Amino acid sequence: MKYFNKSVFYFIVNVAILLIVLTKTLFAWSSGPPAYRTGAPGDEGTCSADGCHNSFPPDSGSAKFSISGPSAYTPGKAVKIGVSFSDSGGKLHGFEMTAVDADGNRVGKFKNIGSTTRVISPNDPARGLEKKDKGKYIEHTIKGSKKKSWKVKWTSPASASGTITFYAAGNEADGGGTNSGDYIYTTTLEIAAESSASGQ
Ligand code: HEM
């Protein structure tokens, strides 16, 4: 009986530890930040909010952080968008991105290419994305935090028109496993609609 109680006790302790580790990993921000942190109009700021990565002023680091893409998009068609750090001394890197039309609406649908990025899901309790913004935010994953550049797909709505602005916030992190000692960057890229780009 005494041996049985001890083993049950150890079993319960082990399960509890496992659950704590799993929860911490699942909800760790290093595995991808909360939604609405790209610096876009209407977002809740960036990664450098109070209590987050605010060791240094945004864009005070020496790395280069940029978004790349085609000069124009065709409504309803997918384009490839790149996000990258260069000249960075960071141990880990991360980002979050969204796309906004000329009226300030978040538009289009992102798609990850491979497992280094993830489209934030409204069903993800840790990231607080509203259902209406499904598909409109993409970010790094834990695997992706080991990279300095990422390629994703973005499909504009068939009704899209005018210039679309991509907003991204990025983290050049020291790999310390905390939210301190990391440099935060912001950047944008404008892509015109095909017709206006070709002057027709
Ligand atoms: C787009 C914005 C953000 C990006 C790209 C980002 C990226 C990262 C990265 C790469 C790490 C690992 C840092 C390291 O090990 O040195 C990290 C950790 C962390 N981040 Fe962020 N982050 C963002 C926003 C936020 C926000 C808004 C908060 C606060 C609500 C936050 C809280 C934390 C915390 C507490 C950690 C350390 C522990 C953990 O992994 O949970 N982050 N983040």
For residue 87, the domain's CATH number is: 2.60.40.4060
Answer whether 144 contacts ligand 1 (Cβ < 6 A): no
Quick one: pLDDT at residue 5?
80
User: Over the chain, what HEC string results?
Assistant: CHHHHHHHHHHHHHHHHHHHHHHHHHHCHHHCCCCCCCCCCCCCCCCCCCCCCCCCCCCCCCCEEEEECCCEECCCCEEEEEEEEECCCCCEEEEEEEEECCCCCECCEEEECCCCEEECCCCCCCCCCCHHHCCCCEEECCHHHHCCEEEEEEECCCCCCCCEEEEEEEEEECCCCCCCCCEEEEEEEEEEEHHHHCCC
* Residue of 13 and 174 predicted with greater confidence: 174
CA–centroid distance, 188 to ligand 1, in Å, is: 20
Is residue 71 a part of any domain in this protein?
yes
The total number of structural domains that make up the chain = 1
With respect to residue 61, please indicate whether it lies within any of the assigned structural domains.
Answer: yes
Q: Would residue 185 count as lying in a domain?
A: yes
Residue 177 in any domain: the answer is yes
pLDDT, tens only, 14-26: 888 777 666 655 5
Instruction: Summarize pLDDT for 57-84 with one digit per residue, the tens.
Output: 999 999 999 999 999 999 999 999 999 9
Residue range 2-10: mean pLDDT, rounded: 79
In a domain, 7, yes or no: no
Best residue among 23, 24, 25, 29 to mutate for probing ligand 1, ranked by most atoms within 8 Å of CB: 29
Confidence band, pLDDT 50/70/90 cuts, at residue 1 = low
Predicted local confidence at residue 102, as pLDDT: 95
Is the residue at 13 inside a domain?
no
Which residues span the domain enclosing 48? 31-197
The residue whose CA is least distant from atom 43 of ligand 1 is 30
Distance between Cα 125 and ligand 1 center (Å): 16
| 12 part of a folded domain | no
> Is pTM beyond 0.85 here?
yes
The alpha carbon of 52 and the centre of ligand 1 are apart by a number of angstroms equal to: 7
Q: Is residue 151 part of a domain?
A: yes
Does ligand 1 have an atom closer than 6 angstroms to the CB of 179? yes
